[in-house]
Structure 1
Amino acid sequence: MPPLFEIGSFVVLIAVLIFDLVYVFKRPHIPSMKEAALWVSFYVALALGFFGLMWTLVGQGEALQFLAGWVTEYSLSVDNLFVFIIIMANFAVPRKYQQEVLMVGIIIALVLRGIFIMVGATVIENFTWVFYLFGAFLLFTAVQQMRSATSSNGHGEESGLIKKITGRLKLAPDFDGNKLRTTVNGKRMWTPMLAVLIALGLTDLMFAVDSIPAIFGITQSPFIVFTANIFALMGLRQLYFLLGGLMDRLVYLTHGIAVILGFIGVKLLFHALSHNELPFLNGGERIAVPEISTELSLLVIVGTIALAVVASLVSPKGRAVASAHREEVVRIKESSKLSQ
């Protein structure tokens, strides 16, 4: 990877993130659907533009690895939004401050994933057998994800863990704007905002554990891994407001992500076998296995996500969820009119 290209890419990406961070904290508000759609479109166009630059300046293979990694991380980040929605609802975060909370959550995610990427790259460089562990872990995660998707609890395990940890904090009964500390009856106390940030941090940590091995199954380039993660997290805040009730309707998205994790887990195991150095396995010799190309990986990932989204939108289950959501919106509007 040309050093100037890497440096220039990070400078531009950091500048965009700083602008987004300043914009959010200087102007806290509830973004309109139009505003959210424009920002999401901008970040998607930025990622595709970066893909085009890589294709032109670096090479077709690296560009396709970035595209496959970005799509994978983006789909996992969208799944992350389900838990974000649960957190916001459980703690009744005022909608006006949800942008700030989400932005802090994204910064936490970037820091955690950066640490995971550096550690993962170092381990992979020195211990090729770690691909066996990554592959087995992703297959296990895929099975757990599928079980969670087919159960009625969904992300209940994650939210239950978050409640146990944040439940030990002595918090003020109400938010005080976006402050972490407040005074109640002359006593200094933490606001519920602290519990929200802890919950987001724990969620980001759990998702980083899944996502980093997944993208290392597509590329071993730390630069591509990190840039794909940055582009995947960019626009996540606006996507939260854009999708709104549609998130509940994507009933098969988690199933699709489970399939993708399982596929990448198999790819990692194949890679480990083809580079085998374990003395107790085939005498330490490499084992001939099918090679899964980046092009095939990209096709499987994009095809699986598209199929999951379409199935969610046209299935009876998805339509039933959409109908229930519309009824809830009407009920809230009628209740609001009566209160006025």
Structure 2
Amino acid sequence: MEALLAFFTADFLGKATWLWLVFLIIIIALLVLDLGVLHRDQHEIEMRESLLLYSGYFTVGVMFGGWVWYELGAHSALEFYTGFLVEQSLSMDNVFVMAMILGFFGIPRRYQHRVLFWGILGVIFLRAIMIGLGTALVQEFEWILYLFGAFLLFTGVKMLFVKEESHPDLSKNPVLRFLRKHIRMTDELHGGHFFVRLPDASGKVLLYATPLFLALVLIELADLVFAVDSVPAVFAITQDPYIVYTSNIFAILGLRALYFALAALIHRFVYLKYALALVLIFIGGKIFLHGIIGKIHPLISLAVTFSLLAGGVLLSLLKTRDTAGQEESR
């Protein structure tokens, strides 16, 4: 009994083990409910269901922040909510990339949730590695936070003034070309399967990857690319690995649930890019201001971040309301 108690109270990355276990139990329960109950039968997810799913994930995330407030205090909770908001916002562009990848492979909507769901498992694992490495670097070399800040400032300024590049040609993607060269693949889908066994010309049954698997690989790689922005951004808010990781995962879970509604509306958020750029500049600037005016209170960080993002969304919706009305009238 004493050994078990010692395990639960042992320190792991700055927090008691039982705090990490509570988080993992919640995430596992959500994933089991999602795939094992709500989407046991593969079906096309409409906008209403997507919004309801997102509402559920968002509510759980907000409640978890309340629990963080109770267990770790208001300061940690405000940092969690700020990281939660920033991660969701920075991942908005990822929705467009996911839609482009799924469209390129011609994945029907009824199978898209399966790809996104299994992609979440990869995100949970990969983000853990990145955040673990980031934590070790920050603890060993505190000056690296200034490197993160400079990177965020550069990225924010670039987003403000550099025009968006044209859509990339996925057929020329080096990872996709490598996979097609080294893995046996089918040209067509086989239901919701990532792999199938099929006979070759000689009648020998071999294992083949389907386009569903290729879409999953590219979506995971896209998340790695976007994590290069989002992980330093959250580290600029807090260096607590528990807050960084939990806020990241809850935000990504909600965004994947919102994908089916957001993919159809992402074109309306024309000013969101500029709002995100200002958020990155603000977060990056905080690091350099710390040595001059001291640490900015997390409530101020949350208020500024929310105001910028809300302003970008509202201006975008007002700007595109005529376009939306024309689409509805068709």
| Superposition TM-score tier, normalisation by shorter sequence | 0.7 to 0.9
Q: Is the 8 A contact 1:54 1:63 kept in 2?
A: yes
Distance 1:176 1:217 in 2: 44
Aligned residues: 307
Q: Shift of the alpha carbon at 1:229?
A: 1.0
SS state at 2:97 partner: helix
Give 1:146-185 correspondences, 5 Å limit.
146-147=160-161, 150-151=163-164, 153=166, 156=167, 163-168=173-178, 169-170=180-181, 171-182=185-196, 183=198
TM superposition score normalised by structure 1: 0.81
Letter in 1 for 2:220: G
Letter in 2 for 1:300: V
TM superposition score normalised by structure 2: 0.83
Distance 1:237 1:176 in 2: 23
Report the equivalent of 1:337. Answer: none
Distance 1:292 1:160, change over 3 A: farther
Q: Shift of the alpha carbon at 1:19?
A: 3.0
SS state at 2:237 partner: coil
Q: Is the 8 A contact 2:99 2:263 kept in 1?
A: no
Give 1:115-154 correspondences, 5 Å limit.
115-147=129-161, 150-151=163-164, 153=166
Report the equivalent of 2:253. Answer: 234
Q: Shift of the alpha carbon at 1:241?
A: 1.4
Letter in 1 for 2:303: L
Percent identity over paired residues: 36
Letter in 2 for 1:38: L
Distance 1:160 1:37 in 2: 29
Letter in 1 for 2:104: N
Structure 2 unaligned spans of 5+ = 1-14
Does residue 79 (structure 1) correspond to residue 93 (structure 2)? The answer is yes
Distance 1:320 1:147, change over 3 A: farther
Q: Is the 8 A contact 2:119 2:220 kept in 1?
A: yes
Q: Shift of the alpha carbon at 1:299?
A: 1.1
SS state at 2:67 partner: helix
Distance 2:73 2:228 in 1: 29
Q: Is the 8 A contact 1:121 1:220 kept in 2?
A: yes
Structure 1 unaligned spans of 5+ = 275-287, 331-340
Does residue 303 (structure 1) correspond to residue 307 (structure 2)? The answer is yes
Q: 2:212 aligns with which of 185, 193, 198?
A: 193
Report the equivalent of 1:294. Answer: 298
Query: Mean Cα displacement is larger for which, 7-16 or 61-70?
Result: 7-16
Quote the RMSD (CA, aligned, Å).
2.6
Q: Shift of the alpha carbon at 1:301?
A: 0.9
Letter in 1 for 2:173: K
Distance 1:324 1:109, change over 3 A: farther
Distance 2:129 2:149 in 1: 20
